[in-house]
Amino acid sequence: MAPSRATANASQLIKVLLVEDADGDADLVRAYLEASPRDEFRVTRATNLTDALEHLRRTSFDAVVLDLTLPDAAGASGVYAVRDLSHAPIIVLTGADGDSMALDCLAAGAEDYLGKNELQARALTRAIGYAVVRRREQELRTMTEARSRFKAMTDATGQEGRPHLSPLRAREPEQFNTCVWRYYETLLSYTTAVNAKMRKPRQGMSEIAERLGKLNCATKDIVAVHAAALDLASGELPIERQCQIVVEGRLFALEMMGGVLEYYRSQAAIERGEVMR
């Protein structure tokens, strides 16, 4: 889907990670971007893939401009490594004989490629700007569709034409809201840990599972809490972060369902033990 003309023509702030080891090429790209009359580009440079990945672990970027011949990576391997850490669109820069390698990079997930020997300011800014708009529109659709699916699961209407609330939301709305906020905070920690390849917040997850279990929550309650947490994300976070939460949050929801089920099993075991005594 092509970006709408109004969206594509709107001025935007674009944070770019430039991965280029050659000083001359890096200076040229930076000069082209910073001289853009339409969009404001903020450029961060890395001279090798290792440094680039470290930047991506610490900072969110709107686009990555990636040289295909780096000291520690060449061709599609760099694209795969960046894609593992970031959803930002990747524009690859190729040498005079790099068309075949560039096509491999497109297959690996790059958005576009430009030849260094014919690089022009307008082509560069246009490629990055359109890639960013396309990615943001895609992420917005992903977020909207996911929220709609969860909302449909929790707000199906009955014969009276009124939404069926989850049992917990209908029974104890204040407790429901408290659970949503705790769930949301832990969901943020969970997705941050997953994207940074760190340890998941198991203690926080266990505390939420226990809270939900004590409130006798069923699967529909957990889905409703998750949907409400996504609503909070849509009001507070940028689109890229929302998309991360939607994608990684699916597994989080499944793990929370498993945690609540484990709580019920442990309580049943305790009750059986008390009966035996």
Rounded Cα gap, residues 197 and 199, in angstroms = 7
Q: Lowest-confidence range among 15-24, 51-60, 235-244?
A: 235-244
Output phi, psi for 198, to 5 deg.
Answer: -110, 180
Tokens representing 160 are 């009276």
Output phi, psi for 70, to 5 deg.
Answer: -100, 165
> What is the average per-residue pLDDT within 2-30?
75
**pLDDT > 50? residue 2:** no
pLDDT at site 195: 74
Q: Where along the chain do its domains lie? A: 5-133, 155-276
Q: Give per-residue pLDDT as tens, 111-162.
A: 898 988 888 998 999 899 888 888 777 776 766 676 666 666 555 544 444 4
Domain 5-133 and domain 155-276 have a common topology = no
| String of DSSP letters for the chain | -PPPHHHHHS--EEEEEEE---HHHHHHHHHHHHT-SSSEEEEEEESSHHHHHHHHHH---SEEEEESEETTEETHHHHHHHHHH--S-EEEEE-TT-HHHHHHHHHHT--EEEEGGG--HHHHHHHHHHHHHHHHHHHHHHHHHHHHHHHHHH--B-TTSSB---HHHHH-HHHHHHHHHHHHHHHHHHHHHHHTT----HHHHHHHHHHHHHTT--HHHHHHHHHHHHHHHHHHS-HHHHHHHHHHHHHHHHHHHHHHHHHHHHHHHHHHHHHH-
Q: Give per-residue pLDDT as tens, 58-75.
A: 888 989 999 988 999 888
Neighbours of 45 (CB within 10 A): 19
Fold of 5-133: Rossmann fold (3.40.50)
Amino acid in the structure at residue 162: R
> Which contacts qualify for 182-186: CB closer than 8 Å, 24 or more apart?
182/207, 182/208, 182/211, 183/208, 183/225, 183/226, 183/229, 183/256, 184/228, 184/229, 184/232, 184/233
Top CATH class of 155-276 equals mainly alpha
Tokens representing 85 are 């850490």
pLDDT at site 155: 57
Q: Strands 73-74 and 69-70: what pairing?
A: antiparallel
* Geometric angle at alpha carbon 65, from 79 and 194, rounded to 5°: 50
pTM listed for this prediction: 0.59
- Residue of higher predicted confidence among 29 and 163: 29
